[in-house]
Structure 1
Amino acid sequence: MKRLSFDSFQYEFNRQQEPRLHIEPGETIQVETEDALSGQIRKAGDRRDKAKVPFSNPVTGPIYISEAEPGDMLAIKIEAIESRDGQCATYTGNPKQLCQWLGTDVPDGAHVCPIEDGFVYWSEKIKIPYTPMLGCIGTTPAYGMPSTMPAGPHGGNMDIREVTVGNTLYLPVFVTGGLLYLGDAHAAMGQGELSATGLEMASQTALTIDLVKGKTIAGPRIESPEEIITVASGTPMERATAEAFAQMILWLEADYGWNRWRAYDLLTHVAEISMGYYEGGGLAVKIAKQYVEYPS
């Protein structure tokens, strides 16, 4: 199995960077990533100092997938996400829109949480189930050079909990080779990622990356054993919600034989929503496969 180590802090999806790994479609690889806090909180007393490291969400890559061309689609099966050092970290962060009600006198709140026996020990009395996910993963756009802060049609900083072990993420290809980057692993994250900081961890992730030739999609999709999921991003979040619903309807129409207006009706009654960082506008719409199988 090929392995890609964490090498240096990168904060852009950069099509001008030389690929660090070349793979064939269908290969399974292991990728090391640094945490979203750029490794600044590792032990008691550490603090997130943006004066020294102003950026967040360093990614590892790019990964070049042979035969991938614009208009194709990557199918990325997430096989495993593991902590590299048996711990994760978080801090209070800036409450931003909450300041109207909570004020601006915010403690740093930085602390390191051990990961043991399938739980994150957030405090001596509170343990949180270990449910790892990738917050930031994406292909490289054909124009511009987005940072690892926003999400978009390429993926990016989606912070969607369903980008997790056992699920397959579908991403559009915009440039030759796809040029995939990933990072920002979380040991767990609540809906909305309120403080913009999950339980951040340096990770080792196993991925099987396949290629679907000639399959063009408008943005990220996810498939779990039980659901299909569309992802959109942008603000206001109502706009991202509308786009994610529309992309789900078009997916049902194109691939599953649904009439779009019957799908529109059905989603009104059975769809669910998953939120990424509430201020960033990342939003996923989900529908159980039990409904998808019966076009009407």
Structure 2
Amino acid sequence: MLLDPGTGPVRAATYLPSTPDNVLWGRLPCAADAPVLTVDPGTEVTVDTLSHEGLLEDQGRDPRGFFGAHGLIDVLTDAVALAASDHPHDPVVDGPHVVTGPIAVRGARPGDVLAITVLEALPRVPYGVISNRHGRGALPGEMPEGGVDVVSVVARLDPTGTRAVMPRAAGSDRTVAFPLAPFPGILGVAVAGDERPHSVPPGAHGGNLDINLLQAGATLYLPVQVPDALVYVGDPHFAQGDGEVALTALEASLRVTVRLDLLPGAQALAELGPLTGPLVRTSEHLVPTGLDVDLDEALRACVRAALDLLQARFGMDRAHALAYLSAATDFDVSQVVDRVTGVHARIRLADFDEPGAGQVTGA
């Protein structure tokens, strides 16, 4: 079943479709961008997102033709409309991602922290694409093999809609299937100034974090950079392994419902510490992050962010906090393919007997 704009289940009373007028392609919002929607803090918004796979110029900018060549005739109308429009997108200088927004959150100001809680992530299509292209990914110059510039693997959902089935490789009789775990790879706030950032590298604004823990029930905390925050959602994934080594995960369009809460600066400082970049909370973990073009430096930044968080939230001195992190916390590679690499740590809430551990509400 396709979830075309305005069809099928829409969880929130406020709905934002991914029509060409409501999206940016290859760039992220900045302070100079006008919002396509304005809401009060605490509002739930259902946002349609579009995968870039099947829309890109090296795929013909023709999703009907691209997916038709794989035997798929059901294609989202908004994907067709964007590809056929004169929406600006230059693959030489722009990123690939389509982002929906920006959404203004009334009253948000620099110094505050915006909390974006993912409430639901529904597949809009029964298939997705995993790509390796242009010598990128974790093995540039080595993969793709044989001088091929782009490899696109199209996986279909099984009859239960809970697993993706990859096509069999030539000469193989084995089927590979894996569970869906949908989440938006891009969640963010606008940056200051009048220049839209490239959509690929993540940063303090969030953006292309590709942290697969941001599934339904998780919250992303971001320091607000411009008045009204200007939130956006994109890069929808059906599933992704930590690292995202091929260049993309299982990319496919989602209908994502988020709640947009606002933490005033003083409250955020007391509860989260001096937050300078993205922080995730799930029902089980606090997840500080580190971002840098150098993966070693990204790890070090993540350790420092974790120390700041443990000191502010639980009153730990840094020596004991570092000892705890070494003994009890996993540091995972979020992704290594987005120019700026990412590391995230999983600090167990249960280790601190924190009230509300197991729930995701506010901070």
Q: TM-score, with normalisation over the residues of structure 2?
A: 0.74
Residues 131 and 247 of structure 2 are in contact (CA less than 8 Å); yes or no, is this contact kept in structure 1? no
Deviations 1:217-243 (A, max 9, x none): 211100111110012211211111111
Distance in 2 (alpha carbons) for counterparts of 1:113 and 1:100: 25
Where in structure 2 are the equivalents of 1:165-204 lying within 5 Å?
Answer: 165-204=216-255
Distance in 2 (alpha carbons) for counterparts of 1:108 and 1:101: 13
Instruction: Please say if 1:114 is aligned against 2:156.
Output: yes
Distance in 2 (alpha carbons) for counterparts of 1:277 and 1:234: 11
Deviations 1:128-166 (A, max 9, x none): 100112111110112353121110011011111112111
Q: Match for residue 344 of structure 2?
A: 284
Distance in 1 (alpha carbons) for counterparts of 2:202 and 2:140: 24
Q: Match for residue 134 of structure 1?
A: 184
Q: Match for residue 73 of structure 2?
A: none
Distance in 1 (alpha carbons) for counterparts of 2:196 and 2:189: 11
Q: Match for residue 200 of structure 2?
A: 149
1:44 is displaced (CA, Å) by 4.6
Instruction: Please say if 1:209 is aligned against 2:260.
Output: yes
Residues 134 and 182 of structure 1 are in contact (CA less than 8 Å); yes or no, is this contact kept in structure 2? yes
Residues 154 and 167 of structure 2 are in contact (CA less than 8 Å); yes or no, is this contact kept in structure 1? no
1:33 corresponds, among 37, 42, 49, to 49
Q: Match for residue 309 of structure 2?
A: 251
1:107 is displaced (CA, Å) by 6.2
Give aligned-pair identity as a percent. Answer: 25
SS in 2 for 1:161: coil
- Specify the code of the residue in structure 2 equivalent to 1:164: Q
Distance in 1 (alpha carbons) for counterparts of 2:189 and 2:140: 35
SS in 2 for 1:276: strand
Residues 91 and 111 of structure 1 are in contact (CA less than 8 Å); yes or no, is this contact kept in structure 2? yes
Q: Match for residue 127 of structure 2?
A: 87
Instruction: Please say if 1:5 is aligned against 2:29.
Output: no
Residues 13 and 141 of structure 1 are in contact (CA less than 8 Å); yes or no, is this contact kept in structure 2? yes
Distance in 2 (alpha carbons) for counterparts of 1:33 and 1:266: 39
Q: TM-score, with normalisation over the residues of structure 1?
A: 0.90
- Specify the code of the residue in structure 1 equivalent to 2:139: L
Distance in 2 (alpha carbons) for counterparts of 1:20 and 1:82: 22
1:168 is displaced (CA, Å) by 0.9
SS in 1 for 2:129: strand
SS in 1 for 2:297: helix
Residues 44 and 112 of structure 1 are in contact (CA less than 8 Å); yes or no, is this contact kept in structure 2? no
1:24 is displaced (CA, Å) by 1.0
Larger Rg: 2
1:58 corresponds, among 98, 103, 106, to 98
Residues 135 and 141 of structure 2 are in contact (CA less than 8 Å); yes or no, is this contact kept in structure 1? no
Distance in 1 (alpha carbons) for counterparts of 2:198 and 2:345: 24
Distance in 1 (alpha carbons) for counterparts of 2:31 and 2:127: 32
Q: Match for residue 9 of structure 2?
A: none
The Cα RMSD (Å) is 2.2
